[in-house]
């Protein structure tokens, strides 16, 4: 999560406060930082001499501190991430090379090695499997783009309008953040209840109270509308996080910038486009990426809303892969699909980071 953190090193840090091995020294070549480090330590250790250390002892201690300590500090995190994410993921990649159906799951050694056959079937768009995956993929891209954009828009609007103090502002902000804190299951099952055709609130309001729909009551959990129902739930759960981040971002915009803009006679839109949005660029860069990744991989929302069998119009990739693995018991194929998905996300992220970073440098 650290790489895209915007503005690393951009914050002006007083020279005296620069860390050992300052940012100008390439991080990959710590040996170059050695002289600098030695100086600091000489001061740090030497100032009030606690007890006499031999030159060798001191050197070992310095070496220990600068060279091994950081590794020791990150070790627990690395070990856990490797054990819980990386190793299982590599196992998953291996699974994708096997024909791992119900005949073989009990003893994987009996599973035939099929090389890239699963991948072949996955990306062969003339086959039914490939076509279904491609369709699900398209739906997911659309769903994710819309969800991220609308969530961001809602978050931005609310954050901007909550900037100015008014009565009830704290209450409103608190209310807005509630969906983010609500457990997934509780939130989504409630939405499922609202979307029921005969007994749900949505149709009650649209049809019975407002009379907006002519003729029959619409369906929300099946058919074409299911996509929009899913989108609404996703936005409802996601946008408070955007609000949270953008609010945080706005607190860093110096008030003088707005004052200067006001003196120039800038109206609402001008202030938004010339002060607010540019200041938010670093946070938007991260926020959009994180929301994109979370939404793309989101399994909980569709799974709880539709149960295991999502309508084809809302057949998100996570559910599609789940069904390909668990319902049809073909874990090799499911893994191959997951790996393809992972590669896609890696590619998107890489391109996104390159493009946004370049833009920032040029800007």
Partner 1 sequence: MAAALLTGSLAACGEPVADAKTLTYWASNQGSSLEFDKQTLAPVLERFEQKTGIHVKVEVVPWSDLLNRLLAAATSGRGPDVVNIGNTWSASLQATNALIAFDPQAFERIGGRDRFVPAALAAAGAPGKAPAAVPLYSLSYALYYNKQMFADAGISRPPATWEELVEVGKRLTNGKQWGLAIEGANPSENAHHAFTFSQQYGGAWFDAGGKPTFDTDQNVKAVKRYIDLMAVDKIVNPSNAEYAKNESLSDFANRKAAMLLWQAAGSAFQAQGMSPEEYGIAQVPFPANPPPGGKRVNSMVAGINIAVFRHSRNLEGAMEFVKFMTSDAEQVALNKVYGSLPSVKAALTDPAFQAPEQKILAEVLGSTAAPLPQVTTESQFETLVGAVMKEQFANAANNKPITEAAIRAKLRAVEQRMKG
Partner 2 sequence: MREGRGERIARWIVLSFLALFVLTPLFVMVSSALKPLQDVQDSFTWLPSTLTFQAFVDMWSTVPLGNYLRNSVVVASVAAVFSVSIAVFAAFAISRYRFRGRGVFSVAVLSTQMFPGILFLLPLFLIYVNLGTATGLELYQTRLGLVITYLTFSLPFSIWMLVGYFDSIPRGLDEAAQVDGAGAMRTLFKVILPTAVPGIVAVTVYAFMTAWGEVLFASIMTDQDSRTLAVGLQAYSTQFQVYWNQVMAASLVVSVPVVAGFLALQRYFVAGLTAGAVK
DSSP single-letter state for residue 162? T
Out of partner 1, partner 2, none, what residue 80 binds, judged by CB under 5 to 8 A for its kind, is partner 2
Q: Does 183 bind partner 2 (CB under 8 A)?
A: yes
Residues that bind partner 1 (CB under 8 A): 101-103, 105-106, 127-129, 131-132, 196-198, 216-217, 219, 221-224, 307-309, 311-312, 323, 326-330, 333
In a 13 Å sphere around the CA of 9, the CA atoms on its Cβ side amount to 10
Nearer to partner 2, 79 or 142 (CB): 79
As measured in angstroms, the least distance from the Cβ of 217 to partner 2 is 11
Closest CB 218 distance from partner 2, rounded Å: 14
Q: For residues 160 and 321, which CB has a smaller minimum distance to partner 1 in the complex?
A: 321
228 to each of 5, 119, 224, 325, how far by Cα in Å? Answer: 32, 31, 8, 26
CB of 180 to partner 2, least distance (A): 7
The interface with partner 2 within residues 106-125 (CB under 8 A) comprises none
| Displacement of CA 145 from its chain's centroid (Å) | 13
76-105 footprint of partner 2 as x/- string (CB under 8 A): xxx-xx-xxxxxxx-xx--x----------
Binding residues for partner 2 restricted to 122-181, rule: CB under 8 A? 154, 157-158, 161-162, 164, 172-181
Residue 127 beta carbon to partner 1: minimum distance, rounded to whole angstroms: 7
Closest contact distance (angstroms) between CB of 97 and partner 1 is: 16
Query: How near is the Cβ of 126 to partner 2 at its closest, in Å?
Result: 25
Cα torsion at 84, 318, 309, 233 (round to 10°)? 110
- What's 179-235 look like in SS3? HHHCCHHHHHHHHHHHCCCCCCHHHHHHHHHCCCCCCCCCCCCCCCHHHHHHHHHHH
Task: Give, as ranges, the residues between 299 and 358 that touch partner 2 (CB under 8 A).
Answer: 299-300, 303-304, 317-318, 321-322, 325, 331, 334-335, 338-339, 341-342, 345-346, 349
What is the rounded distance in angstroms from the CA atom of residue 336 to the CA atom of residue 321?
9
Given a contact cutoff of 8 angstroms between Cβ atoms, the answer to whether 134 and 352 are in contact is no
Near partner 2 in 12-41, by CB under 8 A: 13-14, 16-21, 25, 27-30, 33, 40
Q: Which is nearer to partner 1, 134 or 172 (CB)?
A: 134
Q: H or E element: which one contains 169? A: helix 169-181
Strand partners, 101: 330
Burial level of 280, CB count in 10 A (0-12/13-18/19+)?
Answer: buried
Choose among partner 2, partner 1, none what residue 101 binds, the Cβ cut-off being 5 to 8 Å by kind: partner 1
Using CA atoms, how far apart are residues 221 and 306, in angstroms rounded to an integer? 7
Q: Which does 219 bind (CB under 5 to 8 A by kind): partner 1, partner 2, none?
A: partner 1
Residue whose CB is less far from partner 2, 102 or 252 = 252
* Binder of partner 2 out of 262, 277, 354, 355 (CB under 8 A): 262
Q: How far apart are CA 318 and CA 297, in angstroms?
A: 6
Q: Is 66 in the site for partner 2 (CB under 8 A)?
A: yes
Of 128, 224, 259, 264, the one binding partner 2 by CB under 8 A: 259
DSSP state of 264: T
Tokens of 323: 């069904």
């Amino acid at each position: 999560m650290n790489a895209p953190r915007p503005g690393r090193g951009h914050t002006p840090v007083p020279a005296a406060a620069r860390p050992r091995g300052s940012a100008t020294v390439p991080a990959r070549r710590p040996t170059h930082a050695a002289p600098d480090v030695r100086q600091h330590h000489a001061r740090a250790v030497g100032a009030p001499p606690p007890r006499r250390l031999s030159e060798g002892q001191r050197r070992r201690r310095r070496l220990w501190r600068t060279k091994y300590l950081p590794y020791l500090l990150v070790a627990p995190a690395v070990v856990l991430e490797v054990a819980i994410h990386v190793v299982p993921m590599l196992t998953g990649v291996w699974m994708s090379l096997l024909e791992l159906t119900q005949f073989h799951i009990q003893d994987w050694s009996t599973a035939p090695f099929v090389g890239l056959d699963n991948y072949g079937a996955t990306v062969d768009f003339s086959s039914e499997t490939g076509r279904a995956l491609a369709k699900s993929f398209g739906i997911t891209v659309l769903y994710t783009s819309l969800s991220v954009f609308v969530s961001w828009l809602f978050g931005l609007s609310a954050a901007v309008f909550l900037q100015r103090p008014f009565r009830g502002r704290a209450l409103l902000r608190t209310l807005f953040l509630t969906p983010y804190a609500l457990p997934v299951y509780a939130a989504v099952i409630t939405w499922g209840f609202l979307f029921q055709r005969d007994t749900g609130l949505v149709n009650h309001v649209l049809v019975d109270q407002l009379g907006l729909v002519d003729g029959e009551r619409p369906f929300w959990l099946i058919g074409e509308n299911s996509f929009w129902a899913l989108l609404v739930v996703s936005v409802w759960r996601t946008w408070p996080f955007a609000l949270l981040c953008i609010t945080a971002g706005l607190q860093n915009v110096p008030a003088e910038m707005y004052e200067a803009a006001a003196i120039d006679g800038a109206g609402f839109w001008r202030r938004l486009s010339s002060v607010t949005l540019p200041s938010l660029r670093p946070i938007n860069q991260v926020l959009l990426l994180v929301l994109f990744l979370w939404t793309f991989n989101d399994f909980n929302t569709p799974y709880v809303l539709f149960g295991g069998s999502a309508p084809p119009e809302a057949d998100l990739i996570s559910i599609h892969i789940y069904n390909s693995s668990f319902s049809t018991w073909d874990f090799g194929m499911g893994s191959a699909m997951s790996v393809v998905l992972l590669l896609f996300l890696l590619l998107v992220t890489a391109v996104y980071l390159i493009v946004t970073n370049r833009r920032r440098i040029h800007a």
